[in-house]
Structure 1
Amino acid sequence: MLLSIITINYNDKLGFERTLNSVKNQSYNNFEHIIIDGGSSDGSKEYIEENSANFSYWVSEPDKGIYNAMNKGIKVAKGDYLYFLNSGDHLNDSNAINKACQHLKGEDVVYFDIQVIGENKTHVKKCPKELTFKFLHENLPAHQATFIKKELFNEFGFYDENLKIVSDWKFLILAICKQNATYKYVEETFSTYYSDGLSSLIENQALVKAEREQVLNEEFKPFMNDLKNRYVLERTIRTLRKSRTIKLLTKLGLIHEF
């Protein structure tokens, strides 16, 4: 089985080197590494040229944004599964890809947990075993720890380049919730993500919310109405649980705990 690892970069030479070294040092070698650089001016292009023997394909030219760059990688990828490891992020050890490939047995999407390194703390972002609409409408497995079958992009289309931040989320929620794509969760920490990316910046959270609401209202409006009603009920239950009267009635055994 051939795996395609796609790395996009723009003017992040130090992070780029960290990413490429983590791929270069893998014990598994049946993969192609595709580099999509957005025409960097910080020495990244020269670094790519110096190490071009390690890449199956590379290009350094201006693009129209993150998802335009990722789509360029998808178009030239030949692997059975695609994996996006963008500049700055890295695989956790030299056997990461080898261990991951043992789980790529036919499901459309295979996802792992990921280590997140922030300015003040480090934590592991855990994923659920079941990808419910409730989870996916506001979250998703990290693309740095997710493998997607190439044929999914051929069937459902590439990333929506009209969205600036949440197109990978849109692709996944449509694939899982509308197209019934199969998936598998592996409870292992696979890679490391540095939370200084575009979608993680505080100043971009309003755009993330707006783009998600746009997609949800276009694609899942009936579901969203049901979900809003559920949230109202959940808030009501939380309020009731805090009530002294409810606590007393529960203690006396006159009502069951809820």
Structure 2
Amino acid sequence: MTTNKPKISIITVNYNNADGLRETIRSVTEQSYAAIEYIVVDGASTDGGVDVLESFRPNLAHAISEKDTGIYNAMNKGIKLATGDYLLFLNSGDKLISPQIIEEVVAQGLHADLVYGDLKFFDDAKEWTWNLPDELTFRFFYDSTLPHPSTFISRELFDTVGLYDEELKIVSDWKFFMLAVAKHNCSYQHIGQMISAYNFDGISSKPENGQAIQVERSKVLAETFPLFLADYEELDRLKKELKKIKYFMKVRKAVKKIFNSK
């Protein structure tokens, strides 16, 4: 599948984020690695995003702007256009961490279905990092996910798992990663290196979407891993009870210490 110089398809999805799109495209077109196929899928933006797209068109393998039915419909359009050995989703507003990062990742070797690195978050006030574990478990996906801006996905894995579920509005990438690892037993490789910077204003990052995320995740878990779900819900209940007991014991110890000191 991969060669000494694997082709990397980078897919950017955009809708009405012209400034973010410009920054994202620049971070990709500045890469020192030559074998990049860059695809931008715009959802018929009305804020000048189409003009940004046109200004960079000579640097893009594919550039389309048309209405879609949501972010995962747009991402699936990109997958269907991609011909690379590995796909990386870097949506508008997100940036690769340095002009050499793709070359550095390839130099370490792409040997697994999923190759993921660490992620930097940023917003208007601050920035912070997310360091991923070397080992992935069902428990990990029950609580968390892999960050798509720093995860290289083998093109062949989409043939195994399928495209993103367009009925989901927020967690379809989480579903894809969970099924790939926990159901299809795909291979994975963690690179302990920062890959991308993620703009913390995406749909899954907004506090008002927290309940919708939980509803979608619960629906997916109930449909795909119903026997596991009851066990993990019970485990969470017990963990919360244990946390309460530990807090009570801590308070009791503190009160006892106060009285003993008198």
Q: Same fold (TM over 0.5)?
A: yes
Give the corresponding residue for 2:90: 85
Q: 1:214 aligns with which of 219, 243, 258?
A: 219
d(CA) in 2 for partners of 1:236, 1:15? 44
Residue of 179, 195, 198 corresponding to 1:190: 195
Task: Tell me the residue number matched to 1:52.
Answer: 57
- The more displaced of 64-73 and 182-191 is 182-191
SS, match of residue 201 in structure 2: coil
Q: CA deviation at 1:62?
A: 0.6
Instruction: Give the counterpart letter for 1:110 in structure 2.
Output: V
CA distance in 2, matches of 1:59, 1:104: 31
Instruction: List structure 1 runs of 4+ shifted beyond 6 angstroms.
Output: none
On the 8 A contact 1:39/1:60 being kept in 2, the answer is: yes
Aligned: 1:180 with 2:217: no
- Corresponding position of 1:28: 33
Give CA deviations for 1:182-204 in whole Å, capped at 9, x if unaligned: 10111111110111011111111
Pair 1:244–1:14, CA change in 2 (3 A):
closer
TM-score by length of 1: 0.91
Runs of 5+ consecutive residues of structure 1 not aligned to the other structure = 249-258
Shift of 1:244: 4.4
Look up the match of 1:19.
24
- Contact 2:113-2:188 within 8 A present in 1 as well: yes
Deviation string for 1:163-184 (max 9, x for gaps)?
A: 0000000000011000001101
**Identity score, percent:** 42
Unaligned runs of 5+ in 2: 1-5, 254-262
In 2, are the aligned partners of 1:112 and 1:188 still within 8 Å (CA)? yes
1:40 partner amino acid: S
CA distance in 2, matches of 1:214, 1:229: 17
In structure 2, C-alpha distance between the alignment counterparts of 1:42 and 1:231, rounded to whole Å:
44
Query: Does structure 1 residue 6 correspond to structure 2 residue 3?
Result: no
User: What's 2:111 paired with?
Assistant: 106
User: In the alignment, is residue 141 of structure 1 matched against residue 146 of structure 2?
Assistant: yes
State the alpha-carbon separation in 2 of the partners of residues 201 and 217 from structure 1: 24
SS of the aligned residue for 1:102 comes to helix
The answer as to whether partners of 2:111 and 2:189 remain within 8 angstroms in 1 is no
Contact 1:112–1:141 (Cα < 8 Å) also in 2: no
What RMSD over aligned residues (CA atoms) do the two structures have, in Å? 1.8
Correspondent of 1:63 among 68, 87, 105: 68
Q: In 2, distance between residues paired with 1:108 and 1:185?
A: 11
The letter of the residue matching 1:195 is: F
The 8 Å contact of residues 7 and 36 in structure 1, kept in 2 or not, is answered as yes
**1:55-109, Cα deviation, whole Å (9 max, x unpaired):** 0111111111100000000001000100000001101111011112224432000
| Structure 1 residues 25 and 218: alpha-carbon distance in aligned structure 2, compared to 1, 3 A threshold | same
Q: Deviations over 1:110-140 (max 9, x none)?
A: 1111110134431101211111111111311
Q: CA deviation at 1:44?
A: 1.7
- The yes-or-no answer on 1:228 pairing with 2:201 is no
Instruction: Answer whether contact 2:91 2:149 (CA < 8 A) is retained.
Output: yes
CA distance in 1, matches of 2:65, 2:248: 62
Aligned partner of 1:226: which letter? Answer: D
Alpha carbons of structure 1 residues 50 and 120: separation in structure 2 relative to 1, 3 Å: closer
Q: CA deviation at 1:243?
A: 5.1
For the structure 1 residues 155 and 202, does the alpha-carbon distance in structure 2 shift closer, same or farther, using more than 3 Å as the test? same
TM-score (norm 2): 0.90
Which deviates more from structure 2 when the two are superposed, residues 150-159 or residues 236-245? 236-245
